[in-house]
Structure 1
Amino acid sequence: MNVAANVQGKHILITGGGSGIGAASAKVLCERGALVGVADLNEENAKALVETLTNAGGKAYSVAVDVTDPEQVKAMFDTAYSHQEKVDVVINNAGIDHFPAPLTEVDDAMFMKNIQVNLAGVWYCMKNALKHMSANGGGHIINIASVAGLRSAPMISAYSASKHGVIGLTKSAAVEYARANIRINAVCPSFVDTPMVQGVLSKLDERGQKGLVGANPMKRLGKPEEIANAIAWLCSEESSFMTGQSVVLDGGMLA
């Protein structure tokens, strides 16, 4: 089978699709023939990316969404259905982090914001996706988690807690919906060269920057395209027997 044809004709909806891993995934999936919905809190980013993708011959549309608002999430799915009746894959990529600090120095509002965006946002999107996919013969949900959801992550405890929760949702729902022909997997990157990570780097001194970049045996940041290529494989039928798993892309950090 031609790898480039694996997602041909699929309808794939990506939250947080306007930048970073989401944008890289949208580009790869469009190039491989999918219809891609780029959903983002930053509507301008989403529109600009869609313009780039469609100008290159891809099929894409944009939609503004705040994943912490259940009504906006429902409206996002309604918009997706207006473009194509069935959504085959939902990639829950929208997320935030917080500046590294000891747990007692992370204020409660920042903890709750991480939970609301990274965990509750995935919950709302999964509920809508599961109802739709259950009624339409199945589908695939891909949740973007983190290596911080698989191990200790000192100084980013709120972020880590939210990503552990995402992996818990992934595993539990994968078992619940396996017989409904719905696969649910997580992708767990380490530090990737995205605007979010660059924002953290900009606030660190030189020693801190070197420590973050060199946190894995490859001694470099991951590239968004490297994560996107793995996501594209998960979107294809080549991963058809995989569900409830956490796909780790970390330069060897957890080895």
Structure 2
Amino acid sequence: MALSNSVENKHILITGGASGIGAATASLLASRGAKMTISDVNSALGETLVKQIVNAGGQAMFIYADVSDAQSVAELFNQAKANYGAVQAAINNAGIDHTPQAMHLVDDAVFHRNIAVNLAGVWYCMKQEIIQMLGNGGGHVINVASVAGLRSAPMIAAYSATKHGVMGLTKSAAVEYAKANIRFNAICPSFIRTPMVENVLANVDERVRNGMLKANPMKRLGEVEEIATALAWLCTDESSFMTGQSVVLDGGMLA
């Protein structure tokens, strides 16, 4: 059986697609011929990215959606289907973090906001993706989790809890929908040079900052392009026998 490494004309939806890993991945997939639906809460950045992709000859549209709102997510998927047809691959990338802080000092509102975006947001998106993929003969859902979803993560307990939850959703859905030809996998990056990580680095002391920068054997942050290429491969048919797995991109942190 010949497996394709192409995403040409494949409808791929990505949340949190206006910046960081999402933007790099959307641009790469569009450059390879995918029809991209890009969603985010930052409409200005999202619209700018779509213009860049279209000007470069790609296909893309932007749809505002707040993944913590189930109705907003449903409208996102309805609009995406109306424009490009059923979603064939989806990358659930939207997420937030919180300032590193001892667990007993973290405000409950911060915890609940992380749950709403990082975990409930993935839940809402997965439900809509499953509905479209069940009616379209299958598909592939890729959840952006974290190494913090695979191990302890002191000082970012709320964030870590959500990413462990994302891994649970990924594995459970992979088994539940395997016979329907819907695959579910996750990527688990460590510290990547994104606006979110840069913001954290700017708001912690030098000791914590140095610890983050040297947290893996490569002694550096990952780059968004390094994550985008892995996500792009997962969107191809070359990953067709892979489901329920985590792809760890951490510079050797968990080795």
Q: Normalising TM by the smaller chain, what interval?
A: over 0.9
* TM-score normalised according to structure 2 size: 0.98
Code of the residue aligned with 2:173 in structure 1: it is: A
Matched, 1:71 2:75: no
Task: Report the alpha carbon displacement of residue 79 of structure 1 after superposing the two structures with TM.
Answer: 1.1
- Aligned partner of 1:11 in structure 2 is 11
Q: 1 CA distance for matches of 2:121 and 2:86?
A: 21
- Aligned partner of 2:184 in structure 1 is 184
Task: Report the alpha carbon displacement of residue 58 of structure 1 after superposing the two structures with TM.
Answer: 0.7
- Aligned partner of 2:154 in structure 1 is 154
Q: 1 CA distance for matches of 2:154 and 2:210?
A: 17
> Secondary structure in 2 aligned to 1:60?
strand
Q: 2 CA distance for matches of 1:205 and 1:70?
A: 37
Task: Report the alpha carbon displacement of residue 2 of structure 1 after superposing the two structures with TM.
Answer: 10
- Aligned partner of 2:228 in structure 1 is 228
Code of the residue aligned with 2:39 in structure 1: it is: A
Matches within 5 A, 1:77-92: 77-92=77-92
Q: 1 CA distance for matches of 2:222 and 2:33?
A: 25
Q: 2 CA distance for matches of 1:205 and 1:131?
A: 46
Q: Deviations over 1:64-116 (max 9, x none)?
A: 00001111000000110121112101110000000000100101000000000
> Secondary structure in 1 aligned to 2:120?
helix
Q: Deviations over 1:105-135 (max 9, x none)?
A: 1010000000000000000000011011011
Matches within 5 A, 1:48-197: 48-197=48-197
Code of the residue aligned with 1:61 in structure 2: it is: M
Q: 2 CA distance for matches of 1:17 and 1:32?
A: 17
- Aligned partner of 1:237 in structure 2 is 237
Task: Report the alpha carbon displacement of residue 189 of structure 1 after superposing the two structures with TM.
Answer: 0.1
Q: 2 CA distance for matches of 1:38 and 1:105?
A: 36
Task: Report the alpha carbon displacement of residue 148 of structure 1 after superposing the two structures with TM.
Answer: 0.1
Task: Report the alpha carbon displacement of residue 205 of structure 1 after superposing the two structures with TM.
Answer: 2.3
Q: 2 CA distance for matches of 1:68 and 1:251?
A: 31
Q: 1 CA distance for matches of 2:70 and 2:3?
A: 38
Task: Report the alpha carbon displacement of residue 247 of structure 1 after superposing the two structures with TM.
Answer: 0.5
The 8 Å contact of residues 214 and 220 in structure 2, kept in 1 or not, is answered as: yes
Q: 2 CA distance for matches of 1:96 and 1:86?
A: 27
Code of the residue aligned with 2:252 in structure 1: it is: G
* TM-score normalised according to structure 1 size: 0.98
> Secondary structure in 2 aligned to 1:199?
helix
Q: Deviations over 1:169-223 (max 9, x none)?
A: 0000000000000000000000000000000000122222111111000000000
The 8 Å contact of residues 3 and 237 in structure 2, kept in 1 or not, is answered as: no
- The list of structure 1 runs, each at least 4 consecutive aligned residues, that deviate by more than 4 angstroms after superposition, is none
Q: 2 CA distance for matches of 1:117 and 1:27?
A: 23
> Secondary structure in 2 aligned to 1:216?
coil
> Secondary structure in 2 aligned to 1:217?
coil
* Worse-matched range after superposition: 200-209 or 221-230: 200-209
Q: 1 CA distance for matches of 2:34 and 2:170?
A: 24
Q: 2 CA distance for matches of 1:100 and 1:118?
A: 16
Q: 2 CA distance for matches of 1:2 and 1:130?
A: 23
Gaps of 5+ in 2: none
RMSD: 1.1
- Count of aligned residue pairs for this structure pair: 254
The 8 Å contact of residues 191 and 222 in structure 2, kept in 1 or not, is answered as: yes
Gaps of 5+ in 1: none
Q: 1 CA distance for matches of 2:169 and 2:235?
A: 19
Code of the residue aligned with 2:46 in structure 1: it is: A
Code of the residue aligned with 1:174 in structure 2: it is: A
Q: 2 CA distance for matches of 1:204 and 1:79?
A: 40
Q: 2 CA distance for matches of 1:132 and 1:158?
A: 31
Code of the residue aligned with 2:245 in structure 1: it is: Q
Code of the residue aligned with 1:233 in structure 2: it is: W
